[in-house]
Structure 1
Amino acid sequence: MRHIAIIGSGPAGYYSAEAAQKQWGDDVRIDMFDMLPVPYGLIRFGVAPDHQSIKGVTRRYEKVALSENVRFVGNVAVGRDVSIGELRQLYDAVILATGAPHDRKLGIPGEELGNIFGSAEFVGWYNGYPPSANLDPDLSGRHAVVIGMGNVALDVARILAKTEAEFEGSDIVSHALEALKAAKFQTITILGRRGPHQIMMTPKELGELANLERASPRVDRDDLPDEGEDLLLEPGLRKSVTHLRSFAAIPESVHADKPIEIHFDMFASPKSFSGDGKVQHIEVERTEVAQGRAVGTGDTYRIPADLVVSCIGYRSSPVPDVPFDDRAGRFANDEGRILPGIYCVGWARRGPSGTIGTNRPDGYSVVEKISEDIASGALGRIGKRGREGFDELAQARNLDVVTFQDWKKIEEAEEAAARAGSPREKFVDIEAMIRAAN
């Protein structure tokens, strides 16, 4: 019998568990650990609350979770409740699927000013992530700036622009919905260092901006390259750039009829923030693209900013006694192998790139490597104590472990508490989750 510990219960973790089941069938036991009492990681706390169709993938994960040889071990933090070394002694292989929950810093002057947030904490705030639930951003200003040219930047801009009615069917948490209802924004600037041909925005998400009730997207025609150059782009990016061209063609009368403007400010690199306690302005340098990179021109200007959300990427959390690549913000690894018996997968392996589906081949790949290492003898004796040994440790340390069946009780309570038109009202307090589970 093989015993596998997976740290993290997001997409990368569940695809790894699924792969292990297909690789070894009934001859494997998988324990999936999460520091929170609830599973699904990025799906629950990262996917935009108004993108419920994407969250439907949890049905696939639930099928894996309810298998007899897979167990969810919630409310157990590696490094706090149990160490990697202890897990390595108990399990034949340990897979780190912890994602990348921390924001990459811009590293420019004034970043410590109030009302400047990274996207991980801001998205966590409106998605009910417990560590971010008390963020309390000030949304009373007129000008919001979102830094970044990827889908997360689009999500943040869209959430800031939506009316209460447009959140129908979403699972945005109530505290965020109430704050957004009172927001006074007139402009939402999406600030990017490069141009239209370098954006990382997908067509579906970009196209949503054209259908907002009270906001219209604006693109400066001068920022668009010659239309013939679009033919050199891969099809998805070409569709996205077509959306940008359609935004540039929106008549002024349409902009005038909507109270919020979402302005794409491209070829623009933030250099510093200024303000009295809270951010009020951003100093920006105009750029040009040379060999795919943004190069400053020395031409600077200032834009108003009462709220700033930086969406420039994420970093994994280091784990004691596990080699970490601080520059890349992920675990130091060789195609998923970290140390004998310790592996990583998903964003913890490759950094924050790819889609949710990208984690599936990643999970299958790491399980293949574990199988190879077992066959070669690189992992030593196989058949350690696994969950039996962990259960003894948990009992000795009085850990309050939350099972998948407990999670289903939490889920039922969230669904019962949902406001009209919403699928659930998420708990944002861990103690409340555990009370519901019990």
Structure 2
Amino acid sequence: MKKKLMVIPLILFLLLFGFSFYKYHSIHKFNANAVKKNIDFLSNSDFKGRLGGTLENEEAARYIQAQFEAENLKKFNSNYYYQVFKTNYPKKVTGTPYLKVIDNTNTLVKTYTYGKDFKEDLLSFKQNHPILYKNFSFSESKYYIKVHSGNNIYVFYCPEKDNLSFRSSFDGNSPYSLFVSTTEQTLNELKNYLKNGYIVDCFIPYENSETNLKNIVGYIKGKSSKNPIVISAHFDHVGEDLNGNIYHGALDNASGVSFIIEMSKFLKSLGTPDRDIIFAAFNGEEFGLKGSEAFVNKYLSSIKTASEFNFDMVGSKTPLCIMGAKKDSANTDLIRETADICSNDNVPFNYLFENASDHSPFRDNKISALTFCDNDTSRIHTPSDTASHISTAAIDTCFEVASKEIINKAYASNPFILYNKEITLFSLCGFILSSLITIVFILKKTK
């Protein structure tokens, strides 16, 4: 009888180990190298910086959609993986950029070189051809000239260290008509020319125009559609300049969208979650968070009790940054929970409270949301933001933190997901110990 009783825990531990081991091996292992591979693909020169409104942006959207389809995510928008929305964008038009100075006899005094002395900033192109002469006023500082001409405001400014490579996000609602970055020498010369009655003639071949953009959205169906989880990242960037220099946008934000593609594979392999998990690749972030704003506005009734985890710039060798909105604090629930994971796991992190990424439209509507960010601004919005600078170790760190919080919310009732590794080790140890006890008992009985 004792012998039979001793076999019972042996069988139970064996069954528990077998099930947990099977579960462990059926789970897709999050692969930072696969993330890096997608970053490299989406930030390569063929996509020309993924500027919203371009063919290359549309091709990036199709690629992301194909990844969601391959993972058998459900279509979120009826029969489609995409949500279409209208927005303004900077449309490239025919012509060559120039900045020149003419005197009142129509004689050319000075011609500046594009890319060396001046360059467009992407902020606004409400007017792309200012001719500044007599009927204007301007204010100045050491680093800028602000010119008022009729209903238009033109800004010429000198960036830090005369670095003309930085390109701002576009703002279709900007009160300004045109931004032009210049070297310090060019700016000082323009001040003198304007003060002395010369004509300053500038042309930048872009214009504000309207286009349709696509968000790409899929989801994993949960046991309940209440309190869904939204996992998001934007995939657009700022394109290429008029010399053909490509702003690759590897860290910002091929990294984030590549991260959520890999995260979808991991979470899909865990089985049915308690709540729907929505994966949203937002467009138009570089135009003022237009994609996430359109998403929240359309689906507010079904996501108002959601938890949103956004990923923007993941993969730089800096401490992980937990970004909330301006009105948030370290005591905001979702931020505090995530910070506790970092503290418990000895993960260096810091806070940032800005409406500077796609968590902002969610927070504006009182939806729990945060952005995971490696806040390295040394290369972003420049041609040097390439995949060669991406750190897979930083990607792994972000996953270790974010996945714990997401799993906790999505699979809280399933210990085989929350504690799979621990259960596997426990059952293995229990099986080995039970086996040893049984062997010792049998050996004693045979003596």
- Return the TM-score normalized by structure 1: 0.25
Structure with the higher fraction of residues in strand conformation: 2
Query: Relative contact order: is structure 1 or structure 2 higher (C-alpha 8 Å, sep ≥ 6)?
Result: 1
- Return the TM-score normalized by structure 2: 0.24
